[in-house]
Structure 1
Amino acid sequence: MKNTLQPLPQLFLRLALSVTMLSAVADRFGFWGENSAWGNWENFEKYTQQLTFFLPESVGSFSAYAATFLEILFPLMLIFGIKTKWASLGTGFLLLIFAFSMSVALGVKAPLDYSVWIGSAAAFLLSVQSDYKYSIDTLIKKS
């Protein structure tokens, strides 16, 4: 039995993961206005410090920048289908780190409320697909 999702559900999964992560980035830059979790970078950095309480403060601040960079990079890679397997693995591990950090810092309910575990599992499912139709990866493979 071939380990592959149908092309349209696979594309939907790539887009759903991407839009979800990019929405979180938009929130920390204030693009969602009053319908936001953080609303600005300072609040997001405080939240990151809360999740990384076990790290030195400077590393916690760096984590906010690193997470934001990866939450922009991986979704763009997924949207365009560039190194899709690596982008989905990266997304899965990033969300897994978020889920564990949220569980430790905020309790087990927080990552469940934000479906972080499901996002991580979905990204890992995407990473084991044999091919990625509707992607730059496929175009490169064909040429």
Structure 2
Amino acid sequence: MANNTTPLYFHQLFLRIALAVALLSAVADRFGMWPDQVSAWGNWENFEAYTRKLTFFLPEILSKASGYVATAAEIVLGLLLLAGFQLRWTGLFTALLLATFALSMTFALGIKAPFDYSVWVGSAGAFMLAGLNGFPARQG
């Protein structure tokens, strides 16, 4: 039988990779790196239009800026999750970012949209990652 820490580290690794891939895949989509058949946006312009829908309550310049900030955050957090760096903080910031997306989607598009894209599930998973005990010492 494996020691008691093995399952925790496997689950933590699986959750980290799933969250990171979800974040980085969304970024790849807005840069046109996914084929049209599976793409949500396909290019930056379509992503900006979608962001404008979600941030209808902001002036256009802030809406546009929010797309850049969200993209930068998704890249940084995705890479930090893959690296396993400062997982409590990285998990917390990922959870808050995804919760912000989910709330924006809910207010702009209705309750179904964030559930269809599992944004609440991703946020919950990131909160769980942030709260896990027993990280390897280097990940503190």
TM-score (norm 2): 0.91
Question: How far has the Cα of 1:139 moved from its partner?
Answer: 3.1
Q: Which residue number in structure 1 is paired with residue 104 of structure 2?
A: 101
Distance in 1 separating the partners of 2:73 and 2:59:
21
1:56 is aligned to 59
- Bigger fraction of residues in helix: 2
Whole-angstrom distance in 2 between the partners of 1:139 and 1:20? 25
Q: 1:87 aligns with which of 90, 93, 96?
A: 90
Q: Distance in 2 between matches of 1:140 and 1:103?
A: 34
Q: CA distance change for structure 1 residues 132 and 54 in 2, over 3 Å: closer, same or farther?
A: same
Q: Percent identity?
A: 54
Letter in 2 for 1:91: T
Amino acid corresponding to residue 78 of structure 1 in structure 2: L
How far off is 1:131 after superposition? Answer: 3.3
Structure 1 gap ranges (5+): none
TM-superposed deviation, 1:140: 6.7
SS in 1 for 2:133: coil
Structure 1 residues 8, 100: CA separation in 2 closer, same or farther (over 3 Å shift)?
same
Equivalent residue for 1:46? 49
Deviation at 1:123, TM superposition (A): 0.2
Residue 95 of structure 2 aligns to which amino acid in structure 1? G
Give the whole-Å Cα distance in 1 for the aligned partners of 2:139 and 2:41. 39
User: Is the CA contact (8 Å cut-off) linking 2:51 and 2:63 kept in structure 1?
Assistant: yes
> Normalising to structure 1: TM-score of the pair?
0.89
In the alignment of these two chains, the number of paired residues is: 133
Q: Secondary structure at the match of 1:39?
A: coil
Counterpart selection for 1:10 from 2, 6, 12: 12
